[in-house]
Amino acid sequence: MKREKTIEAVLFDMDGVLVDSEVYICQAGIEMFREKGYEVSAEDFMPFTGMGENRYLGGVAEKHNIPFQLEKDKARTYEIYATLVKGKLDALDGVFSFIEKCQEQGLKLAVASSADPVKVHINLEEMGIDRGTFQAIVTGLDIEHKKPAPDIFLKAAEMVGADPSRCLVVEDAISGVAAGKAARARVLGLTTSFSPDELAGADWITATLATAGDEVLEW
C-alpha cells in the first residue's frame, strides 16, 4: 500500500528562485543613490540580499550614512527597475516544468517574497507567469518581521491552508533558508546567489529547479 504523502504545498521565494533579477535591482539601487549624489557598489548590497527592499536599500544607506526617505527612494528604485528589466527577465531553468510537476501532484503553490508587490508583479509579468498559478502571493508588505524571521512562510502556509511542517520552501538566500527552517518547513536551497556551504541549513541543495531531484516533492 502506497504511503500517503506528507507534503501539501510549495512556497517559492522569487528572486534567485523563479527569476534572477538581483543584478537589475542592484543596478537600480546604485542608480537611485547616484541620483541622490552618492556612489555605492554592488558589494554593499550583498549582506542584505533576500531581506526585502526596505532593508536592501536601507542597509546600504545606513552603511554609508546616506539620508534615506524610505517610501520615496524605494518608489524611485522600482521605477528605474521597471525600465531596466523590460523585455529582459526570463524564468530560471526548470521553473515551468517544476511548477507543472507540483500541479500534477495536486500541491498548493504560493509566492513568498520579501519584495514589495510592485516588484513581484513586474517580475511575474515579465516572466510570463500568470498570478493565478499561485493560490497565494505574500510580499514584504504583508508581514511585520522579514526573513530570517519565519513570518512570511507562516503567512503563506496559512493562506493556502497548509501546515507549515508540510510545506517545501524553495529559497536561494541565507536569510530565506533560515526563515524556512524557523517555520518548520523543509527547505530546498538553490545556489543561484550563495554557495552550498552558505546554504548548509537547507534539507536539499541544488543549482536550479531544473536539477532538483524527485525526492524534494516525494515525502
Active-site residue identified among 15, 116, 151, 172: 15
Per-residue model confidence as pLDDT tens digits over 151-195: 999 999 999 999 999 999 999 999 999 999 999 999 999 999 899
Q: Is 20 a catalytic residue?
A: no
Tell me the one-letter amino acid at 209.
Answer: L
Residues 9-20+90-217, CATH architecture = 3-Layer(aba) Sandwich (3.40)
Q: Which residues of the chain have pLDDT under 70?
A: 1-3
What's the rounded Cα separation, in Å, for the pair 203 and 56? 26
Complete DSSP assignment for the chain: -PPPP---EEEE-SBTTTB--HHHHHHHHHHHHHHTT----HHHHGGGTTS-HHHHHHHHHHHTT----HHHHHHHHHHHHHHHHTTT--BPTTHHHHHHHHHHTT-EEEEE-SS-HHHHHHHHHHHT--GGGSSEEE-GGG-SSPTTSSHHHHHHHHHHT--GGGEEEEE-SHHHHHHHHHTT-EEEEETTSS-TTTTTTSSEEESSGGG--GGGG--
Active-site residue identified among 13, 44, 116, 151: 13
Domain ranges across the chain: 9-20+90-217, 22-85
pLDDT of residue 2: 57
pLDDT of residue 1: 52
Per-residue model confidence as pLDDT tens digits over 17-31: 999 988 999 999 999
Of 152, 90, 81, 100, the residue nearest 124 (C-alpha) = 90
Query: Could you identify the residue written with the cell 538566500?
Result: 173
Q: Is 197 a catalytic residue?
A: no
pLDDT of residue 40: 98
- Are 74 and 37 a contacting pair, CB within 8 Å? no
